[in-house]
């Protein structure tokens, strides 16, 4: 099959043709532009993949402790009819599990150490229906029995208090006792029945679990303060929460998991968009380096252009030669960047630990970033636009030099040859 001469010449000019000093310099600039595009595309893919993985990892670890939807009584009071609320919630086809719970804030003391905790009373038999924690560590939650006043602590919380399984801690709840000396907080000695590890620092350092009946006694409640739900699709949580708010009986408040960490997730999305824009500018700078490369090539090939014109080549054909040259650089640079970016993004769990070990440092302090390992989640919805934008920028960068080449006057170009 006959290859169009525009394509053949464009590819030849990309490789710099004759091995002269000037052509070699042009080839170097062309290679530098190609490398810049490749590195920019790779950086975009790696950064966005890490941000996707970071968001997914934090979300999954958070949802191992937090349910998809919570139905709460106003003011932290007990729900008037928990059984009816659970039945009405299960009637929604998107709900696959429901469990009662008690939520409150308290203080936990051991010796001179005292920590504020998020106290959660649960039903161990139903907890597995709404979170993954019970499925991952069933033996821990099975230690919670009504009337025994046992408590299960997060790993970091237990470490900060310096307690182990079997130790006793003092739980201080806000609902106090009225005495002649004033209102005194209620104290209760609790046995540490187990320690759980969710992988999410915020909850491992602040969450304490006990049986919901024990929590009701301590807080002087007539029943659970809410119901937790698990859905078929966690991404449908906002829509299902809105439906339940319209259909549930009684004065209740419905919130989904996105509302509990709304600020954090919104900040990650804004940061992701800004990083996309900033790194796209790097690709744009590399792509528009093609302008200088093609302008120099046009100046160097003026005689060749004039000869082609005298042989009958049209201005559009001349323009096509240099568009092909610039497009070749853009295509090769983009493909190289895609391959490099995907290779790094798919092996980030191996590359980062090796760098951390070599530098004797940690890039993700767990108490700051909630997780301790660098995650990665390459998504086609990010990679395809990156490739298309890179190709588009490279193509746009070829238009002006190509137009200049097509407007070369053959007589003027050959006058001094």
Q: Which of 252, 254, 251, 175 is nearest to 215 (CA)?
A: 175
Cβ neighbours of residue 79 closer than 8 Å, sequence gap 6 or more: 71, 73, 85, 100, 223, 224, 225, 226, 227, 250, 252
Question: What is the rounded average pLDDT of the residues 8-25?
Answer: 53
Q: Which of 233-247, 317-331, 337-351 has the lowest mean pLDDT?
A: 317-331
Phi, psi of 19 (to 5 degrees): -85, 55
Cα separation, 210 vs 279, in Å, equals 48
Phi, psi of 115 (to 5 degrees): -130, 140
Cβ neighbours of residue 10 closer than 8 Å, sequence gap 6 or more: 320, 321, 322, 323, 324, 325, 327, 328
Question: Which H, E and C letters describe 145-204, residue by residue?
Answer: CCCCCEEEEEHHHHHHHCCCCCCEEEEEEEEEEEECCEEEEEEEEEEEEEEECCCCHHHH
Which pLDDT belongs to residue 339?
92
Q: Which of 3-17, 220-234, 289-303, 332-346 has the lowest mean pLDDT?
A: 3-17
Neighbours of 155 (CB within 10 A): 16
- Residue 104, pLDDT > 50, answer yes
The model scores a pTM over 0.75:
no
What is the pLDDT of the chain when averaged over all its residues? Answer: 78
pLDDT in tens, 176-210: 665 555 556 678 888 888 888 877 777 888 888 88
pLDDT in tens, 233-244: 888 888 888 888
- Residue 89, pLDDT > 70, answer yes
Cα separation, 371 vs 347, in Å, equals 18
């Amino acid at each position: 099959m006959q290859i169009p001469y525009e394509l053949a010449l464009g590819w030849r000019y990309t490789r710099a043709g004759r091995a002269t000093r000037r052509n070699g310099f042009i080839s170097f600039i062309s290679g530098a532009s190609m490398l810049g595009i490749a590195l920019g595309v790779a950086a975009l893919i790696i950064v966005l993949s890490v941000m996707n993985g970071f968001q997914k990892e934090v979300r999954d670890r958070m949802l191992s402790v937090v349910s998809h939807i919570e139905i709460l009584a106003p003011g932290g009071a007990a729900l008037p009819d928990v059984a009816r609320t659970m039945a009405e919630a299960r009637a929604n086809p998107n709900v696959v599990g429901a469990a009662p719970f008690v939520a409150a804030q308290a203080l936990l003391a051991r010796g001179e150490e005292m920590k504020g905790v998020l106290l959660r009373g649960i039903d161990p038999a139903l907890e597995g229906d709404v979170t993954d924690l019970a499925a991952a560590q069933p033996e821990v939650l099975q230690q919670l029995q009504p009337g025994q006043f046992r408590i299960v602590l997060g790993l970091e919380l237990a470490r900060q208090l310096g307690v182990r399984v079997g130790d006793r801690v003092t739980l201080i709840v806000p609902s106090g006792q009225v005495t002649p000396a004033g209102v005194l907080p209620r104290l209760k000695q609790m046995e540490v029945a187990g320690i759980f590890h969710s992988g999410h620092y915020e909850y491992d350092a602040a969450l304490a679990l006990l049986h919901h009946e024990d929590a009701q006694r301590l807080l002087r409640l007539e029943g659970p303060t809410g119901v937790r739900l698990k859905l078929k699709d966690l991404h449908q949580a906002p829509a299902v929460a809105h439906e339940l708010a319209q259909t549930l009986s009684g004065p209740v408040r419905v919130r989904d998991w996105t509302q509990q960490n709304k600020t954090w997730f919104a900040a990650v999305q804004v940061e992701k968009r800004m990083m996309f824009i900033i790194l796209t500018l790097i690709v744009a700078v590399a792509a528009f380096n093609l302008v200088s490369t093609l302008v120099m090539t046009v100046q160097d090939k003026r005689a060749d252009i004039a000869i082609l014109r005298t042989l009958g080549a049209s201005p559009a054909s001349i323009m096509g030669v240099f568009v092909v040259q610039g497009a070749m650089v853009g295509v090769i640079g983009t493909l190289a960047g895609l391959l490099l970016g995907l290779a790094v993004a798919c092996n980030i769990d191996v590359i980062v630990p090796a760098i951390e070990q070599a530098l004797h440092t940690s890039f993700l302090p767990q108490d700051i970033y909630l997780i301790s390992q660098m995650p990665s989640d390459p998504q086609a919805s990010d990679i395809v636009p990156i490739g298309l934008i890179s190709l588009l920028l490279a193509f746009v960068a070829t238009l002006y030099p190509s137009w200049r080449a097509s407007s070369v006057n053959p007589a003027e170009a050959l006058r001094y040859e």
